[in-house]
Structure 1
Amino acid sequence: MDEETLERVRAVVTAIPPGQTLSYGEVADLAGLRSARLVGKILAEDGHDLPWHRVLRADGTAAPHIAHEQAARLRAEGVLMVDGRLPREHRRR
């Protein structure tokens, strides 16, 4: 993956304000990418210093292996998950 793509994704994720979320697809759109999966890969490999917890699946859920930590980090910012999902009214799409 090229450095420019990596930096575009990092910039979009860094710009998500505390207490707000985007989906992987929304991050991809804002970064000019076609693949939400690529965003997930970038965050998994190079996103540990980013507010990765503000990026959710399109259905408002977290990936199972990070769900507990992600929900805790979002809760600390005032974002409450209900039954493991961000309520629809809090999602952009």
Structure 2
Amino acid sequence: MKKAIAHLTEEVIEQAFTGTNFGRTDFDVILADTVLKRAAGYHSGGTATAITIRLGLLGEKTKKPTKAGHEWALEVFYSRRKRMEAKG
């Protein structure tokens, strides 16, 4: 995994979402989706945005993706898929 997102283990992500109810549990996708929405200039929900900022994927003041945010979105939507396809 890339350096900027090495701190984002399953445990860290689960803990960040403790006490929330998004109606689903694919928290990695929720984070990546929030990053991409903000990158495109769209609004994302307040709770998802706050968690994404707390995890360092969005800048606190700008609410725009950080390097880690870009890496996370790429990891979730591209790199993982490529690795799974390579496995067969």
Same fold (TM > 0.5): no
Q: TM-score, normalising length from structure 2? A: 0.33
TM-score, normalised via structure 1 length = 0.32
Q: Higher helix fraction: Structure 1 or Structure 2? A: 2
Higher strand share: 1
